[in-house]
């Protein structure tokens, strides 16, 4: 009887959170600032490690930005790649005067991975704003202008929405998963609680960046972009998490279940620094996928009812997010397949995170 009550309680809490998120999503409106008379100078910072398959697509999309070329600087760091990434970056830097290629060196800063790359790139950065993205990202021509137009004077950091694009069943599930979870994080921020910025689609005001000491000034974190976002918010700067088509970026998918699990373990490891209320939400979310299946053996009708309502609310949330970012909405078959994916992925990620294994990301272990 006690187990039954716990299962029902977790299920109802989960549904209540979904209803709250759906109401917030329906109320969400984003208003861009008017176009400035003179566009500010900006720098785009990119960390690249073993990205020979993606970096050309990334740079080509940045070269197609409709931002004034004399105000745009693209600064790429080759993070000791073992493939042709460095050669490709040099090729683009020789062809385009607003692209700078930097070879990242070992130093005594104590920084690792992307944080070390960004710290070395910041010495080349110019302008009022720094855009941060990844080498496997493609952006829209209007991306930079609309990010600038999402930065009122009191805002120190803003983040667009990123979705995965790729062919195949697993890639489609990653697409829905990214959209859904980014949407949920953004929705929480719309209730006055700073969430996080996605590190492949964010803009930082240079003043705020240097006020916290940039990546050099923050302690090492496996999720360094959340750490930067958090430190800027702690200084009193406002944040802006945006779900709009103009600032939606496209990421290449991770390949294989093993890599996916390492990615999620990396996210969970960085999430240890989140405030307690985030872990309450994560706990309710995770427990649902463990306890509601147990409820099947106690009360099949109650279990199926909770799961059915959850799926309907989840589908409405996903469709609302896709509508905001103006992407084709997933059909019923994909929504049902995603329910299987999210259930299996949540359980596998929870188990994998508890295993005494280091996180392997881009052939580095943490």
Residues 214 and 244 in one domain: yes
CB neighbour class for 46 (10 Å; exposed up to 12, middle 13-18, buried from 19): buried
Q: Is residue 263 part of a domain?
A: no
Q: Is residue 36 part of a domain?
A: no
Taking alpha carbons only, the member of 205, 183, 186 closest to residue 195 is 186
What is the pLDDT of the chain when averaged over all its residues? 90
Residue 13 has what pLDDT?
Answer: 94
Residues 17 and 50 in one domain: no
The CATH number of the domain holding residue 251 is 3.90.550.10
Q: Is residue 264 part of a domain?
A: no
Residue 363 has what pLDDT?
Answer: 67
Helices assigned H by DSSP within 190-275? 206-211, 224-234, 257-270
Residues 176 and 116 in one domain: yes
DSSP secondary structure string for all residues of 307-333: HHHHHHHHHHHHHHHHHHHT-PPP-HH
From 258, 287, 308, the end of a domain falls on 258
Q: Is residue 219 part of a domain?
A: yes
Residues 244 and 288 in one domain: no
Residues 101 and 229 in one domain: yes
Residue 222 has what pLDDT?
Answer: 59
Residues 250 and 323 in one domain: no
Residues 294 and 228 in one domain: no
CA distance 153 to 354: 43
Q: Is residue 208 part of a domain?
A: yes
Residue 61 has what pLDDT?
Answer: 97
Residue 165 has what pLDDT?
Answer: 87
Contacts of 192 (CB under 8 A, 6+ apart): none
Residue 221 has what pLDDT?
Answer: 60
Q: Which ranges of the chain have pLDDT less than 50?
A: none
Q: Is residue 357 part of a domain?
A: yes
Range of the domain at 57: 42-258
Contacts of 88 (CB under 8 A, 6+ apart): 52, 55, 56
Residues 17 and 107 in one domain: no
Give how many domains the chain has, as a whole number: 2
Residues 162 and 285 in one domain: no
Residues 133 and 232 in one domain: yes
Residues 323 and 205 in one domain: no
Q: Is residue 138 part of a domain?
A: yes
**What residues does 45 pair with on adjacent strands?**
75, 132
From 258, 288, 308, the end of a domain falls on 258
Structure token pair of residue 189: 């921020």
From 227, 258, 289, the end of a domain falls on 258
Q: Are 232 and 157 in contact (CB under 8 A)?
A: yes
CA distance 100 to 272: 35
Q: Is residue 5 part of a domain?
A: no
CA distance 252 to 44: 19
Residues 22 and 94 in one domain: no
């Amino acid at each position: 009887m006690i187990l039954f009550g716990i299962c029902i309680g977790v299920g109802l809490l989960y549904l209540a959170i979904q209803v709250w998120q759906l109401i917030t999503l329906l109320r969400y409106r984003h208003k861009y600032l008017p176009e400035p008379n003179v566009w500010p100078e900006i720098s785009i910072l990119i960390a690249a490690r073993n990205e020979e398959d993606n970096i050309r697509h990334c740079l080509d999309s940045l070269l197609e930005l409709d931002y004034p070329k004399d105000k745009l600087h693209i600064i790429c760091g080759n993070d000791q790649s073992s493939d042709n990434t460095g050669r490709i970056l040099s090729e683009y830097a020789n062809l385009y005067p607003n692209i700078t290629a930097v070879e990242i060196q070992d130093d005594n800063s104590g920084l690792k991975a992307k944080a070390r790359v960004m710290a070395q790139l910041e010495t080349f950065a110019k302008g009022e704003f720094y855009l941060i993205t990844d080498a496997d990202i493609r952006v829209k021509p209007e991306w930079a202008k609309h990010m600038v137009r999402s930065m009122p004077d009191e805002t120190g950091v803003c983040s667009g929405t990123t979705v995965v694009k790729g062919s195949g069943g697993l890639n489609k599930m990653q697409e829905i998963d990214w959209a859904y979870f980014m949407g949920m994080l953004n929705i929480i921020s719309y209730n006055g609680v700073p969430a996080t910025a996605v590190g492949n689609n964010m803009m930082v005001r240079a003043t705020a960046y240097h006020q916290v000491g940039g990546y050099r000034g923050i302690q090492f974190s496996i999720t360094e972009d959340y750490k930067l976002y958090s430190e800027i918010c702690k200084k009193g700067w406002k944040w802006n998490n945006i779900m709009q088509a103009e600032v939606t970026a496209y990421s290449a998918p991770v390949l294989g279940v093993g890599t996916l699990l390492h990615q999620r373990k990396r996210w969970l490891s960085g999430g240890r620094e989140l405030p307690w209320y985030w872990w309450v939400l994560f706990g309710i979310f995770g427990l649902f996928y463990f306890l509601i299946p147990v409820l099947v053996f106690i009360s099949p009708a109650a279990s199926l009812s909770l799961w059915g309502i959850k799926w309907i609310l989840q589908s409405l949330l996903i469709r609302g997010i896709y509508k905001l970012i103006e992407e084709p909405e997933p059909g019923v078959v994909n929504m049902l397949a995603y329910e299987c994916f999210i259930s299996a992925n949540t359980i596998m990620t929870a188990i994998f995170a508890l295993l005494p294994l280091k996180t392997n990301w881009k052939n580095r272990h943490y």
